[in-house]
Chains A and B, each alone.
Chain A
Amino acid sequence: MSSLPRRIFKETQKLITEPPPGISATPHEDNLRHFKVIITGPATSPYENGIFNLELFLPDNYPMVPPKVRFLTKIYHPNIDRLGRICLDILKDKWSPALQIRTVLLSIQALLSSPNPDDPLANDVAEHWKKDENGAIAKAREWTQTHAK
């Protein structure tokens, strides 16, 4: 692998020195393109107080292509599937090379605050959300207590 581009170095540095509230991202020692990410569940969301582990990887042609991110902690959310894959436009066709790891992680945090069952990735969860929102929120809260510790 080629040496680490200056951009990645700078982004990493800033993530460590000025982490966004409720988010931490640290690169693995053996692979500086591979990050261990922790997002705290936003207050007033069913994920409140949860500690969610994610992994983030910067492909070779980053930032021309988006980073790859997925949840490692089990989560009950209409836009996140059983494998932890996230349905988020900026991780797909709305990606722009002027966006950053920071913006991606903030967007994921925002997705936890406002799930969008109309653009689902986990269909059964989305159906649940639409038919019985209170029930779905209760289940999300339950999962948070069991898995996101």
Chain B
Amino acid sequence: MSKSNKKIQSPQSDSMDDTDGDIDYGSDEGGSDEEGDFDEDEDIEIEIEGEETDGIYDDTDLNRSKNSDFTSLSAEDLINSQQEQVIHCHEVLGVPLGIAGALLRAYAWDKEKLFLDFFDNRDKVIKKANVNLNDYVFHKGDAKKEMTCPVCYDDYNGGLMLSLSCKHFLCRRCMKDYLEVEIKDGPACLHAKCPYPKCNVLVDETLVKDIVDKKHYSTYSKFIARSFVDDNPRIKWCPAPDCGRAVYCPEGITDTVTCTCSCKFCFQCGKESHVPCSCSELVKWLKKEKDESETATWLTANTKDCPKCNRSIEKNGGCNHMTCSLCKYEFCWVCMEDWKDHSSGTGGYYKCNRYKPEELAGRTKETDRETARRELQKYMHYFKRYANHDKSQKLEKQLREKAQDKMKELTQINKYSSWVDVEYIQKAVQTLIDCRGSLKYTYVYGYYLDEGQEKNLFEYLQEDLERVTERLSEILESTPVEQFDRDEIIATTRSAATRLQHLLEGSSNGLVVERK
């Protein structure tokens, strides 16, 4: 099988041909021209629109990760790709479509593993997925007999009654009502079973399509698309609010990816891009931030993320026994550990003594207090700078929209300049946002970096980048557009991008080599 994929989309190239300059980052249009094609047998050439102007940034374009490729998928792409996967599986394995879907879901959409296992031991795979290969259609009752539907208690000709392979008959209307209520209930409808008590026969997707109305089937399809992302380690939702797209990364091992909406995020933890600091450092940092600012309210917060799948779970009763609505993991609200490890020995159902808060107030000795104060000072030093860059980044993100206006204005001022001539502004803004984002996290990285030669060098690079970033920010924010110096902006942009690259490369490869 040949190596797959992919067409790389960067926000810059996306808007190049959008000559009226009116870019709606929130719409699905950006994604609709992408294929979202996962077909492993097909090679899609790397295609970057506007190649000629891209040249000047070739070595510094941070949208393109060197190690791995990724594709941004709109909601529509997701449904299409998901269906393509199902069809491919249906063709290769020779199983009905609905069963192909159930098999893929049982394998967390790992098609290769499914194929290998299926050809190795077909029966085991089928058993694991709880499907019945030979019996997946609705059965009709005996048309010569009268039957009573056990749900509505009405009498019907047997030919109008339906059942799954278990032959538990229901009238068509009740089967429809049953499935529609299941769908209204949420994503668990993907595992809907025969409506008879204790019967475990799975309702096949094709049966759902056959019997429920269009509106409900579309909801059902959305749940399938969601499971396609939620269960699939190679696809992650874009964390930008209201985006709704997901990013596919075939290797599954990369750090920063860029969604069509221009949001950059970490493929490992799903949070906004946080290079150069690592996911675990970020987790530690964010926890610290929380502890410092709201130690008291933290424990009583009403939502927590499921420790297994990260779905946000709301606590709506007194009991600490939580069950995740998505992955069904059962855990303890207080200590976030497996519920299986709990009994009356750990304090019962309302209290849990597995959780032992680190008592800061417990320090009494003078030396300890001094250490604590010094630690806090160090933290505040880094936190202030982190928070500052965060604030600036939020403001500069608004520049992105303003940049469009500025570019439009410039093309109107000078009749001879085309969109390509002013495109440098957009690059400058994007570089500014990227630098700002990374600067923010350099303070997290720096906080956890041990004192020494390496730290000194890192801080030197950080300072250097900070200086150029502030310069770029100043030019873009306070110069009137008609006074824009194209050469200066291009030079500053390039300088900032190069410094950012040095810093990121340095922090990932070690800062031992001297800078040129």
Closest residue of A by beta carbon distance from B188 = A93
Separation of A131 and B344 alpha carbons in the complex (Å): 9
Q: Is the CB of B151 within 8 A of A98?
A: yes
Q: Which candidate, B89-97, B173-181, B477-485, is the interface stretch facing chain A?
A: B173-181
A85-108, CB < 8 A from B: 90, 94, 96-99
Separation of A41 and B221 alpha carbons in the complex (Å): 48
A120 contact set on B, CB distance < 8 A:
349
B335-355, CB < 8 A from A: 344, 348-350
Separation of A99 and B344 alpha carbons in the complex (Å): 34
A64 contact set on B, CB distance < 8 A:
177-178, 181
- Chain B contact surface mostly: loop
Q: Is A20 in the interface zone, CB < 8 Å from B?
A: no
Q: Is A65 in the interface zone, CB < 8 Å from B?
A: yes
Q: Is the CB of B151 within 8 A of A123?
A: no
Separation of A96 and B166 alpha carbons in the complex (Å): 15
Q: Is the CB of A98 within 8 A of B344?
A: no
Separation of A13 and B150 alpha carbons in the complex (Å): 16
Contact with A94, one of B153, B178, B197 (Cβ below 8 angstroms): B197
Q: Is the CB of A6 within 8 A of B153?
A: yes
Q: Is B376 in the interface zone, CB < 8 Å from A?
A: no
B124 smallest CB distance to A (angstroms): 28
Q: Is B296 in the interface zone, CB < 8 Å from A?
A: no
Closest residue of A by beta carbon distance from B152 = A7
Q: Is the CB of A123 within 8 A of B319?
A: yes
Q: Is A63 in the interface zone, CB < 8 Å from B?
A: yes
Chain B contact-residue range equals 20 to 34
A98 smallest CB distance to B (angstroms): 5
A16 smallest CB distance to B (angstroms): 16
Contact with B along A107-148 (1 / 0, CB 8 A): 000000000000010010011001100000000000000000
Closest residue of B by beta carbon distance from A126 = B349
B168 contact set on A, CB distance < 8 A:
98
Q: Is A21 in the interface zone, CB < 8 Å from B?
A: no
Closest residue of B by beta carbon distance from A119 = B321
Q: Is B195 in the interface zone, CB < 8 Å from A?
A: yes
B81 smallest CB distance to A (angstroms): 32
Q: Is B154 in the interface zone, CB < 8 Å from A?
A: yes
Closest residue of B by beta carbon distance from A9 = B153
B227 smallest CB distance to A (angstroms): 19
B451 smallest CB distance to A (angstroms): 51
Contact with A along B146-161 (1 / 0, CB 8 A): 0000111110000000
A10 contact set on B, CB distance < 8 A:
153
Beyond A6-B154, A130-B344, whether A97 also contacts B349 by CB under 8 A is no
A63 contact set on B, CB distance < 8 A:
151
Contact with B along A45-71 (1 / 0, CB 8 A): 000000000000000010111000000
Separation of A64 and B437 alpha carbons in the complex (Å): 51
Q: Is the CB of A123 within 8 A of B152?
A: no
Separation of A97 and B344 alpha carbons in the complex (Å): 36
A10 smallest CB distance to B (angstroms): 5
Beyond A61-B181, A120-B349, A123-B319, whether A96 also contacts B153 by CB under 8 A is no
Separation of A81 and B151 alpha carbons in the complex (Å): 31
A56 smallest CB distance to B (angstroms): 18
Q: Is the CB of B196 within 8 A of A98?
A: yes
Contact with B along A3-16 (1 / 0, CB 8 A): 00111001100000
Q: Is the CB of A98 within 8 A of B195?
A: yes
B403 smallest CB distance to A (angstroms): 52
Q: Is the CB of B195 within 8 A of A65?
A: no
Closest residue of A by beta carbon distance from B318 = A123
B178 contact set on A, CB distance < 8 A:
64, 97
Contact with A along B307-332 (1 / 0, CB 8 A): 00000000000110000000000000
Q: Is the CB of B153 within 8 A of A123?
A: no
Beyond A65-B181, A127-B344, whether A7 also contacts B319 by CB under 8 A is no
Separation of A128 and B152 alpha carbons in the complex (Å): 43
Contact with B197, one of A7, A96, A123, A126 (Cβ below 8 angstroms): A96
A27 smallest CB distance to B (angstroms): 16
B342 smallest CB distance to A (angstroms): 11
Separation of A94 and B348 alpha carbons in the complex (Å): 25
B197 contact set on A, CB distance < 8 A:
90, 94, 96, 98-99
B186-204, CB < 8 A from A: 195-198
Q: Is the CB of B153 within 8 A of A97?
A: no
B318 contact set on A, CB distance < 8 A:
123
B153 contact set on A, CB distance < 8 A:
6-7, 10-11
Separation of A64 and B319 alpha carbons in the complex (Å): 27
> Which residue among A94, A97, A130, A131 has the maximum number of chain B CB atoms within 10 Å of its CB?
A97
Separation of A134 and B219 alpha carbons in the complex (Å): 52
Separation of A64 and B175 alpha carbons in the complex (Å): 10
Q: Is the CB of B195 within 8 A of A123?
A: no
Contact with A along B82-100 (1 / 0, CB 8 A): 0000000000000000000
B350 contact set on A, CB distance < 8 A:
123
Q: Is the CB of B151 within 8 A of A97?
A: yes
Contact with B152, one of A5, A90, A127 (Cβ below 8 angstroms): A5
Separation of A126 and B168 alpha carbons in the complex (Å): 38
Separation of A61 and B178 alpha carbons in the complex (Å): 10
Query: Knowing that A98-B168, A98-B197, A123-B348 are A-B contacts, what are 16 other residue pairs whose CB atoms are under 8 Å apart, sorted by A's residue number?
Result: A6-B154, A7-B153, A61-B181, A63-B151, A90-B197, A94-B197, A96-B195, A96-B196, A96-B197, A97-B151, A97-B195, A98-B151, A98-B196, A120-B349, A127-B348, A131-B344
- 6 cross-chain CB contacts under 8 A: A63-B151, A94-B197, A96-B195, A126-B348, A126-B349, A131-B344
